[in-house]
A = this chain, B = another copy of it.
């Protein structure tokens, strides 16, 4: 028996999101502003919970807030083709691949520097040397 309304704290606990972050999503337009109680507390429905879970999952997968907004808008147009969704996802995948390539190249360079270090004085340090311009 889920409650029919949720406080912001309930949503936070249910989704592993900080309260401030939820308010931030609302201000950013990702999460619709819920109705308020007599005490001016936000009163969320199950729909809000679902939407916030969606946002969190997409963010965890590295989609930008802008991409999440796009995906959310698309998710609501149930009868349309999901090609646009595919495009967003593939663009994100390409971006991840680019980051992976960069990070691997960087790791290699750094590992080489570290491997060359023979723990003498700074004056002979291969790491510092590799960073300094021309030896």
Q: A residues touching B (Cβ–Cβ < 8 Å)?
A: 49-50, 53-54, 57-58, 61-62, 71, 74-75, 77-83, 85-86, 89-90, 92-93, 96-97, 99-100, 103-104, 106-107, 109-111, 113-114, 117, 119-125, 127-128, 130-133
Contacts and interface: CB of A to CB of B under 8 A. Distances in A.
Nearest to A126: B82
A57 B86 CA distance: 37
Contact of A92 (B77, B93, B96, B110): B110
A110 B99 CA distance: 14
A114 B128 contact: no
Contacts of A110: 61-62, 89, 92-93, 96
Q: What is the copy number of this chain in the assembly?
A: 2
A114 to B, nearest CB: 5
- Which among A107, A120, A125 has the highest number of chain B CB atoms within 10 Å? A125
